[in-house]
Structure 1
Amino acid sequence: MLEIPKIISVDDHVVEPPDLWVERLPSKYKDKGPRVERDRAIFNFEGGVFSYEKGVKDGEECDWWIYDDLVYPFPKLSAAVGFDSLDVTPVTFDQIRPGCWKQKERLEDMDANHVEASVNFPNVLPRFCGQAFLERQDKELALLCVKAYNDWMIENGAPETVKVD
C-alpha cells in the first residue's frame, strides 16, 4: 500500500498565548507590556478597511491585546480553524481551538492533519517581523518583548518536545 508522506507546512501561524509577556517580562513592565483584556467590540470591514470600537455596550465579547499605546482586538480570522464561517468578527481565547496557541494541542492537531513539521509566523500582536514592537516608543521594553517572544517560540517548538515516530 502506498504511504503518503506527511507534509511540512511552510506558512503556519501561531497565536501568541495571552500570558506570554505577563509571565516573562520584568515586573516593572507588567502594566505596560503586552497583555490581554476582555471587553466588548464591534468590528466593521468595509471596502477592504478594517475598523473596530472597544467597550461598546451592544458589542460582542472580544479579547483585546493591550501593549503600551496599542489597543488591538483579537479577530476570528487570526484563529479561524474550526469555525464554520470566516468572518471578521470578535473572538476570545475561550472560543478558539487550543491548538492555535497551546503546544500539546497543536501537536495533536498536526498529527490529525498529517503534518510533520511547520514554520510558524506570528499572528495577532507582533505582526510580521515584530513590527508592533518596532513601532512602540519604549525600545527597551520592545527588545524585552522580542526576546520573550523568541524564547517562547524556541521553547514551544523545541525539537526535544516534538514526537518522533
Structure 2
Amino acid sequence: MAKNGFKIIDSDMHVMEPPDLWEKYIDAKFRHRAPRGMTSHNVRDLRLVHPDGKEWSRSTTPANDPAKGKNFEEKQRILGNDAARGWTSAVQLEAMDIEGIDIAVLYPTRGLRALVDDRMDSEFAAAMARAYNDWMYDFCQENPARLIGAGMLSPFSMTDAVGEARRCAEQLGFRAAFLRANPLVDHQWQSEYYDPLWDALEDLNLSLGFHESTSTGRNQVGERLEPNFMLRRVFAQPIEQMLALGCFCAGGVLARHPRLRVAFLEANCSWLPWLLWRLDEAWELDGDVWAAEVKEKPSEYFKRQCVVSIEPDEMIATSVLAQVGNGNLVFSTDYPHVDSRYPEAVNHFLRLPLGEADKRKILWDNCAHYYAM
C-alpha cells in the first residue's frame, strides 16, 4: 500500500470483540461461566459481566462514569459507523486502508480484562485464552496476509501457557503472544516461575508483547488514583510497563533468554532514556549483589531484544532517538481506543520532526524484525 512512500506495520492495533465471543467459543464445560460483553450508548463499551449479570472485575471508576465528555463524544462520532457494522474484520481492514496501514498485529479490547476476575482458576483461565485465540484466528481469515493475531496466554499455569503458545505459533499462525504488564499471579516477571514460557517463546520464535490496561488488575498502580479516571490512564500503563521492562532488562530474564524478543506497548516511550540510565546506574552500583547473572548493562539487553511503541503525536520522543537510537521504537495507531488519533494517526506521526530514515525504521523495519516477518 505505502503511504507517502512509507510501508507501515501497526504494532498494536486493537479489535473490538463481539459481546458473545466467550459464550460461542469457550469449551462446552465452561460455557456456564463464560462472560458476556456489555452494550450501551458507548460504542466502545468494553465491560464484561458474569452470566448472572455481576461485574466481571471491579469497576475502574464506580463513582465516575468515564463514558462522557468531549473526547468521548468525538470518538462516538468517528467510530459509530464501525460499531454499527459490527466491528468485523472487513471494518478492521477498512480502518487500515484509511490510515494507510499495510499490516496490523491485533491485540484485544475486552480481552485485556478477560483474566482479571478474582475467582479465576488456572483451568478456566486457559479455556478463556483458547476461546479468544480461536476467535482471533477466524477474524484474521478475511485477509491473513494483513491481519495477524497476537495470542492470549494465561499466567496462572505455565504448562497451559506453553501449550497455548505452541498452538498459537504452529496451528494458528500468530506472530506474538501477549500478557498484561501487571502480573496477575504472585510472581514478579523476573521470577523463574515463567522460565518455561520464555524458553518456549524462544524455541517457537514467537514474540512477547506486554500490554497493560487502565482497567483493574491485581495491585495495579492505577488503583491508587481512583476515582480519577484521567489520572489513572496517565499513569497506569506507563508505570506498569516500566516495572516490567526493569524486571526483564535488570532482573535477569533477558540474560537467561538471549533469543527472547519483548515489546512494551501503548505506554508512550519518552520515559525510556531516563529509565535505562537509572537501571544502568543501579546495576553499576549494586548489580554484583542483586543481579549477578546480568553481565551487561541493562540498556544493552534492551537495545538487543526489546522495542517500545511510540505515540503518533509524541513530540518529545525526539529525545529518545537522540539518546537511545532509532532501532527500538515501533508505531501504533491504537485504533479504536480512546487515546487513538484515528483516522489521522499516521499523518500525526509523519509530522513529527524525525528524519526519513528514522520514520522508515519506526514504521516498518523495527516492527518487522520484532515480529519476525
Whether these two folds match at TM > 0.5 is yes
**Equivalent position of 1:97 in the other structure:** 82
Evaluate the alpha carbon distance shift between residue 110 and residue 28 of structure 1 in structure 2; reply closer, same or farther with a 3 A threshold. same
Q: How many residues get paired?
A: 129
TM-score (norm 2): 0.28
Secondary structure of the residue aligned to 1:118 is: strand
Distance in 2 between the 1:39 and 1:17 partners? 13
Distance in 1 between the 2:30 and 2:119 partners? 14
Distance in 2 between the 1:23 and 1:8 partners? 31
Q: 2:49 aligns with which of 53, 57, 66?
A: 66
Instruction: Compute the displacement of 1:121 (Å).
Output: 1.8
Q: 1:121 aligns with which of 107, 120, 125?
A: 107
Q: CA RMSD in A?
A: 4.1
Larger Rg: 2
Evaluate the alpha carbon distance shift between residue 36 and residue 108 of structure 1 in structure 2; reply closer, same or farther with a 3 A threshold. same
Q: How does 1:32-47 map to 2 (within 5 A)?
A: 32-38=33-39
Distance in 2 between the 1:64 and 1:142 partners? 18
Normalized per residue, the structure richer in helix is: 2
Structure showing greater relative contact order (alpha-carbon pairs closer than 8 Å, 6 or more residues apart): 1
Normalized per residue, the structure richer in strand is: 1
Q: How does 1:1-150 map to 2 (within 5 A)?
A: 4-38=5-39, 64-67=47-50, 70-71=56-57, 85-87=70-72, 95=80, 97-98=82-83, 101-127=87-113, 131-132=115-116, 135-150=118-133
**Identity percentage of aligned residues:** 26
Secondary structure of the residue aligned to 1:115 is: coil
* Gap regions ≥5 residues in structure 1: 42-61, 78-83
Deviates more, 1:27-36 or 1:94-103: 94-103
TM-score (norm 1): 0.56
* Gap regions ≥5 residues in structure 2: 147-373
Q: Give per-residue Cα distances to partners, 1:40-59, cap 9 Å, x unaligned.
A: 99xxxxxxxxxxxxxxxxxx
Instruction: Compute the displacement of 1:122 (Å).
Output: 1.9
Instruction: Compute the displacement of 1:131 (Å).
Output: 4.2
**Equivalent position of 2:162 in the other structure:** none
